[in-house]
Structure 1
Amino acid sequence: MSDDHARVREFFTARAPVWDSKYPDDTPAYRDAVARLGLRHGDRVLDAGCGTGRALPVLRDAVGAEGIVLGADLTPAMIDEAVKAGRHTKGQLLLADAARLPVRTAVLDAVFAAGLIAHLPRPDDNLRELARTVRPGGVLALFHPLGRAALARRQGRTITPEDLRAEENLQPLLARSGWRMTSYVDVDTQFLALSVRMS
C-alpha cells in the first residue's frame, strides 16, 4: 500500500464510527443528486468511495431490484460501518482502491462519488480509472452534501485557487481523464458536478 493510501485509510478509519453523524440530514441532497444522474431501472452504478454506504439505498431505489449497485471503498472500517447500518443489503460492497477497481471495462452506466475527489492521490489517473469502467455516454456525479464555501467554513479553512473542485480546475481535469462536464452546481447546500463519459 502506498503512503497516500495509508494516509487516506488512517484518516477514515479514525472517523468511521462517527461518520454518519457528521451529516445526519443529507438524504434529500443525496436523492436530488442521484435523480440528476438519470438512472433507469436495470442500470449498473458504482458508488466510488462509498464510505458507510449512505448513497446505496438511494442508488438502489433508482435502478430497482433488477439493477446492479456496487459500493467500493479503500477503508475496511468504513465498509464495516456500512454493514452495521444494513446498507450492504442495497448493493455489493467491495474493499477496493479507486485507482484499480475490480470492475470490467465499460460495463457501468454511472459512477456516483460523494466527497471522493478531495482524497484522490492522483486525480487524473483515478478519474481515468472511473472512466474505464463506464460505457461511452455514461455519467459521473462528483457530489458533496455541502458546497465548497460551506464545507470550508465548517472545517475552519479558506478555499484556495488550487481547489480541485473549482469549476476552472475541475473541467480540464475531467476532460483529460475521459469526461465532459455537463453541469456544475456549487451552493451552500450542495456541490454537484455532472460529466458524461466521452467515447
Structure 2
Amino acid sequence: MSDDHTRVRDFFSARAADWDNRFPDDGPAYRAAASELGLRPGGRVLDAGCGTGRALPALREVVGPQGAVLGIDLTPAMLEAATRAGRDREGQLLLGDVTRLPLRDGALDAVFGAGLISHLPDPGANLRELRRVVRPGGTLALFHPIGRAALAARQGRQITEDDLRAETNLRPLLSGAGWHLTSYVDEDTRFLALAVRQD
C-alpha cells in the first residue's frame, strides 16, 4: 500500500466510529445530489470512497430495487460502520481502491464521489480510472454537503488558489481525464460538480 493510501486509511479509521454523528443532517443534500445524476430505475452507480455509505440510500432511491448500487472504500472501519448502520442493505459494499477499480470498462451509468477528490493520490489518473468504468455519456458527480468556503471555515482554514475543487482548476483537470464539466455549484449548503464522460 502506498504512503498516500496509508495516510487516507489512517485518517478515516480514526474517525469511522463517530463519522455519522458528526454530520447528522446531510441526508437531504445527498438525496438532492443523487437526483441530479440523470439515473433511471435499473441504473448502475458506484459510490467511490463511500465511507459509511451515507449516499447509498439516496442512490438506491434513484435506481430502485432493480438497479445496482456499489460502494467501495479503502478503509475497513468505514465499511464496518456502514454495515452497522444497515447501509449494506442499500448496496453492495466493497473493500478496495478507487484508483484501481475491480470493474469492467463501461460497467456503470454513473459514479458518485462525496468528498473524494481531495483524497485522490493522482487526481488526473484517478479521474481517468473513474471514466474507464462509466459508459459513454455516463455521469460523474463530485459532491460535498457544504461548499468550499463553508468547509474551509469549519476546518479553520482559508481557501487556497490550488484547491482542486475551484472551477478554474477542476474544469481542465476533468477535461484532461476525459470528462466534460456540465454543471458547477459551490454554495454554503452544497458543492456539486457534474461531468459527462466524453468519448
CA distance in 1 between partners of 2:38 and 2:61 (Å): 12
CA shift at 1:182, angstroms? Answer: 0.0
Alignment correspondent of 2:18: 18
- SS of 1:72 mapped into structure 2: strand
CA shift at 1:21, angstroms? Answer: 1.4
Report the AA paired with residue 197 of structure 2.
Answer: R
Alignment correspondent of 1:53: 53
1:92 has 2:92 as partner: yes
Alignment correspondent of 1:193: 193
- State how many pairs are aligned: 199
Alignment correspondent of 1:137: 137
1:17-40 Cα shifts (integer Å, max 9, x gaps): 011112110111111101111110
Alignment correspondent of 1:68: 68
Q: Give the unaligned 5+ runs of structure 2.
A: none
CA distance in 2 between partners of 1:197 and 1:145 (Å): 23
Please give the root-mean-square deviation of Cα atoms over the aligned residues, in Å: 0.5
Task: Extract structure 1 runs of 4+ deviating beyond 6 A.
Answer: none
CA distance in 1 between partners of 2:53 and 2:143 (Å): 14
- SS of 1:8 mapped into structure 2: helix
Report the AA paired with residue 99 of structure 1.
Answer: T
CA distance in 2 between partners of 1:32 and 1:90 (Å): 17
CA distance in 2 between partners of 1:85 and 1:171 (Å): 35
Alignment correspondent of 1:29: 29
Report the AA paired with residue 40 of structure 1.
Answer: R
Report the AA paired with residue 168 of structure 1.
Answer: T
1:103 has 2:89 as partner: no
Alignment correspondent of 1:80: 80
Q: Give the unaligned 5+ runs of structure 1.
A: none
Work out the percentage of aligned pairs sharing the same amino acid. 69
1:105-146 Cα shifts (integer Å, max 9, x gaps): 101000000000010110011111000000000000000001
CA distance in 1 between partners of 2:142 and 2:58 (Å): 15
CA distance in 2 between partners of 1:78 and 1:197 (Å): 29
- SS of 1:37 mapped into structure 2: coil
- SS of 2:40 mapped into structure 1: coil
Give me the TM-score of the superposition, normalised by structure 2. Answer: 0.99
- SS of 2:21 mapped into structure 1: helix
CA shift at 1:64, angstroms? Answer: 0.6
CA distance in 2 between partners of 1:123 and 1:17 (Å): 27
